Structure 1
Amino acid sequence: MLLSKQKKNQNPKGNRLLISINVLGSAGPIRFVVSEEELVASVIETALKSYAREGRLPILGSDIGDFLLYCPLLGPDALSAWDTIGSRGVRNFMLCRKPQHMKVKEADAAAETLSRSKGSSSWKAWFNKSIKISSH
């Protein structure tokens, strides 16, 4: 009898978790249910949509690339966007904007990748690399 009840309660998508996400500057946490196999990036997207739908302040926007998800219990490092939300075994998180210097580094990396894909035929790129002006 006990085995049949356990089989009925198992979800084919994996276990589901009630998670709580605090947003810096907001009045209280956002709570919703997710599959433990869901990616962190998807959880950030869901949190931003829920936050906007509830009309909370401050207004955050909807670009998931501008935010990082932290777990205060695990340390100061942000979770990777490709991790599963259930991989750490915790249910309380903090959603924060990316620091400005991280956004600049990502933009620089994207520009460098784009310039590599175009090749070195641009005389402006060659000129900027070859001329170095020093200030006294």
Structure 2
Amino acid sequence: MLISKNNNKKSQVPKGSGTRILINVTVVGSAGPIRFVVDEVETVAGVVDTALKLYAREGRLPVLGFNCDDFVLYCPVAGTEALKTWETIGSVGVRNFMLCKKPREVVEGDNDGKPVATGILRKSVGGWKAWFNKSLNLKVSSH
């Protein structure tokens, strides 16, 4: 008697891995969102890592790199706070996210070489919040 191997994908999912959800990650400055499936128990850091890899694999511009520590994941509906890297993606309760580069810090020093003040270097005026609000305010005219 032959026993056939079941190649069903459902049987290949490890038990207790949680529910899988389809999420959209929009990268600021990119043409459109990246869509992929993750487990609800996946951490935010894991989602950022996956999003960066898929972004590079698709050959999208601008080139972002692969360092997850340089990026933060926002949920535009839930507020303006960045998600913590150890949070699970399913705990947020939404499926649309925004991936942004972290602001770079600039340390100003005096003649002794000791830092005097720390500020945040802004590359562009407004940032992702201004871009997001601007995109919501776009109106399509009928003429």
TM range, smaller chain: 0.5 to 0.7
Aligned-residue RMSD, C-alpha: 2.1
What TM-score, normalized by structure 1, do the two folds share?
Answer: 0.67
Matched letter for residue 63 of structure 2: I
What TM-score, normalized by structure 2, do the two folds share?
Answer: 0.64
Higher RCO, 1 vs 2 (CA within 8 Å, ≥6 residues apart): 1
Q: Residues of 2 paired with 1:20 and 1:14: CA distance? A: 19
Quote how far apart the aligned CAs of 1:128 are: 7.4
Bigger radius of gyration:
1
CA gap of 1:100–1:128, structure 2 versus 1, over 3 A, is closer
Identity %: 61
Query: Structure 2 regions of 5+ residues with no counterpart?
Result: 1-10, 115-143
Q: What residue in structure 2 maps to residue 63 of structure 1?
A: 67
Q: Provide Cα deviations, 1:25-83, integer angstroms capped at 9, x if missing partner.
A: 10000000000000000100000000000000000000000000000001100000000
Q: Does 1:73 align with 2:77?
A: yes
For residue 22 of structure 2, the aligned residue among 18, 28, 43 is 18
Q: How many residues align?
A: 98
For residue 49 of structure 1, the aligned residue among 41, 47, 53 is 53
Q: Residues of 1 paired with 2:113 and 2:59: CA distance? A: 47
CA gap of 1:14–1:98, structure 2 versus 1, over 3 A, is same
Q: Does 1:37 align with 2:41?
A: yes
